Amino acid sequence: MKVTVLGGGNWGTTVASLVARRHDAMIWARNSAVVEEINKDHRNSAYLAGFDLNPKLKATDDFEQAVRHAELLIMGVPTGAVRETSANTRKLIRPWIPVVSLAKGFEQGSLLRMTEVIREELPNHPVAALTGPNIAREVMAGQAAASVVATPDLAVARALQQVLSSGLFRVYSNEDVIGCELGGALKNVVAIACGMAEGLGVGDNTRALVMTRGLAELMRLGVAMGGQATTFAGLAGMGDLIATCLSPASRNRSVGEKLGRGMSVAEITGGMTMVAEGLKTAVTTHELAQRYQQDLPIHETIYGVVTGSVDPTEAYRGLGPTPGHENEPG
């Protein structure tokens, strides 16, 4: 199968390199230097320094060439670029070609999930989300990992599993697209909270509290939005949450650590080459919680930190349950 990955970041590059083991894979990147390095040296030092890519992976900065190549199109751009990129493919992509989203977050303003955005721009194409506990550098190092391809069409899911599974990277299927996408997006906010705990030097008890209650909050909102509770106990929910909260390689956890050490959001983002989606998702989650009338104290506290109304050093005083909501579970 001819597979194209749009986006030359760390996860898009990782997925492209995995797929290239058994398929004709091409990656599109805006930066011509990245394209040249992938083609000549089989590396992407800007995002995956120290790792060799599959030598069969091809790269291009020609968007039309990349899209017309695809029998499967994988959208690996940040959330803020998904709509524009999807729209730009409309006149180039072949009919009925499946589209897989790698981005974990929401569109600002509309509050749409990424598969919803893609479906609006490409209405006659099957759309799926690939999500789970996937730290790119660990996958590139050959360590065992698993992900979930979420789509309501099980025939499409089975076909995508065959293409995306590779070696020790196993792909499961799930019909609950809403739950899978919400788990992947909302856990980034909890990861910022856990990172702040690290930066502030609080104990493991506090981190356990934040992760556990954070999972309960994202499950509560997810179910209110139409997701299935069982999804949040799986790879796309708890699995992704654990990896993102605990891994030093997690961008969102790193943002939280720096906030806990006294850096401002502007200082942190000014020095980043990759996007930490949790900063934007914190604002979106605040809006979704209001829309669906859900009480999410941890997410609300991180929203306050991100928007400047809460001092990170005081944040952990507000991470407990709101009176009247102290019962477990949920």
Domain ranges of the chain: 2-175, 178-318
* Model pTM above 0.75: yes
Catalytic residue ranges:
187
The phi and psi torsions of 21 (rounded to 5 degrees) equal: -60, -35
- Say yes or no to pLDDT of 272 above 80: no
Domains 2-175 and 178-318 share a fold: no
Confidence of residue 262 (pLDDT cuts 50, 70, 90): confident
Over the stretch 192-206, which tens digit does the pLDDT of each residue have?
999 998 888 887 888
Over the stretch 118-177, which tens digit does the pLDDT of each residue have?
999 999 999 999 999 999 999 999 999 999 999 999 899 999 999 999 989 999 999 999
Contacts of 273 by beta carbon, 8 Å cutoff, 6+ apart: 46, 47
Annotated binding residues, written as ranges, equal 7-12, 30, 47, 104, 132, 136, 187, 240, 250-252, 275, 277
- In contact, 58 and 27? CB cutoff 8 Å: yes
Mean pLDDT estimate for the chain: 92
Cα–Cα dist 35/217, whole Å: 41
pLDDT at 48: 96
Annotated binding residues for sn-glycerol 3-phosphate, written as ranges, equal 104, 132, 187, 240, 250-252
Annotated binding residues for substrate, written as ranges, equal 104, 251-252
Over the stretch 273-325, which tens digit does the pLDDT of each residue have?
666 788 999 999 999 999 999 999 999 999 999 998 988 877 776 555 544 45
Homologous superfamily (CATH) for 178-318: N-(1-d-carboxylethyl)-l-norvaline Dehydrogenase; domain 2 (1.10.1040.10)
DSSP code, position 232: G
What CATH architecture is 2-175?
3-Layer(aba) Sandwich (3.40)
The pLDDT > 90 percentage for the chain reads: 81
For the chain, give percent helix, strand, coil, nearest 5: 55, 10, 35
Annotated binding residues for NADPH, written as ranges, equal 11, 30, 47, 104, 136, 251, 275, 277
- In contact, 287 and 293? CB cutoff 8 Å: no
pLDDT at 110: 96
